[in-house]
């Protein structure tokens, strides 16, 4: 029997909410592609961007990367984190100003990284190789009791490999607390994707929906799914619920929230579509 997902708004700061013991599996959006996931006694982060490092990097450039939303939680206020998963090495997914203070404050925390980006993960987290667990597409690991992680390919905007044949962009399926959460990383559709995702048996898909354009590609800004493509993948892969994310962060590379809400309100939509939002706990049960 597949689980269902309910969006439960809460009041007060996220820091206070996640310090309390949790039952079942809960997800909290951190902005962009970032989520905090709790279940089975474990707490994971995936692609957390909790700084303004890109605004500093691109100050005075054509795309200044100013935040559209506030950081929902400070690194110092995070609960104990077991693992940080990074789908690829772009800064909004593997952010040194998030990773370095987090791993300094929490010596038990390890990083999951594409094997193709081991050096970047070590540098950006400022840790030795023993605190980085690497994966490649097609691999399955159980890095902690009660947790299984499976890696699949992603295409941002192409399926890329390094000189050793390891994939540069990954998605992860995380099974914990009796539920499987699939985070696609940054990706567009590609041949074989539906079959790979369907085989994961996921209960929920976390998919980027900011789209892509030739104008952005010309500025070396790779794109992601359009909303309709993300909905189609979720439905074709037999996943009942999708949380749309990777919007509301940078004004030059987003999708209006109203578009997602309008799509979610369609009576004939084949999936349960939820737009990511701060101040909401997504509960799987």
As a whole number of angstroms, the distance between CA 53 and CA 98 comes to 9
Q: Identify the DSSP state of 161.
A: B
Note the pLDDT of residue 1: 53
As a whole number of angstroms, the distance between CA 228 and CA 189 comes to 11
- Percent of the chain surpassing pLDDT 70: 100
Residue 65 backbone class (left: φ over 0; alpha: ψ -120 to 50; beta: rest):
left
pTM (2 d.p.): 0.97
Q: Identify the DSSP state of 270.
A: S
User: How many folded domains does the chain comprise?
Assistant: 1
As a whole number of angstroms, the distance between CA 162 and CA 199 comes to 25
DSSP string, 45-75: EES---S-HHHHHTTTSSS----SS--SS-G
Q: Identify the DSSP state of 265.
A: T
pLDDT in tens, 161-191: 999 999 999 999 999 999 999 999 999 999 9
pLDDT in tens, 50-70: 999 999 999 998 899 999 999
Range of the domain at 252: 5-284
Note the pLDDT of residue 200: 98
Tell me which residue of 195, 171, 196 sits closest to 184, measured CA to CA. Answer: 171
Query: Where residue 275 falls among pLDDT bands split at 50, 70, 90?
Result: very high
What CATH number does residue 206 fall under?
3.60.15.10
């Amino acid at each position: 029997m597949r689980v269902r997902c309910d969006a439960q708004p809460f009041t007060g700061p996220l820091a206070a909410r996640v310090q309390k013991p949790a039952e079942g599996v809960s997800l909290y959006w951190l902005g962009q592609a970032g989520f905090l996931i709790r279940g089975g006694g474990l707490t994971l982060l995936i692609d957390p961007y909790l700084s303004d490092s890109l605004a500093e990097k691109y100050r005075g450039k054509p795309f200044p990367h100013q935040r559209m939303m506030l950081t929902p939680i400070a690194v110092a206020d995070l609960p104990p984190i077991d693992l940080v998963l990074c789908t690829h090495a772009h800064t909004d997914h593997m952010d040194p100003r998030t990773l370095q203070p987090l791993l300094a404050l929490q010596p038990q925390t390890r990083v999951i990284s594409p094997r193709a980006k081991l050096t970047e993960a070590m540098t950006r987290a400022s840790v030795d190789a023993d605190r980085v667990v690497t994966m490649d597409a097609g691999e399955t690991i159980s890095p902690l009791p009660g947790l299984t992680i499976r890696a699949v390919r992603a295409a941002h905007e192409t399926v890329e490999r390094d000189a050793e044949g390891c994939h540069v962009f990954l998605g992860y399926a995380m099974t914990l607390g009796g539920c499987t959460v699939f985070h696609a990383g940054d990706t567009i559709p590609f041949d074989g994707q539906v079959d790979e995702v369907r085989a994961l048996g996921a209960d929920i898909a976390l998919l980027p929906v900011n789209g892509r354009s030739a104008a952005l590609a010309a500025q070396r800004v790779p794109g992601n799914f359009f909303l309709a493509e993300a909905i189609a993948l979720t439905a074709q892969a037999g996943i009942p619920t999708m949380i749309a994310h990777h919007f509301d962060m940078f004004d030059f590379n987003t999708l209006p929230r109203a578009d997602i809400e309008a799509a979610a309100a369609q009576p004939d939509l084949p999936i349960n579509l939820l737009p990511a939002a701060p101040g909401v706990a997504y509960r799987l049960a």
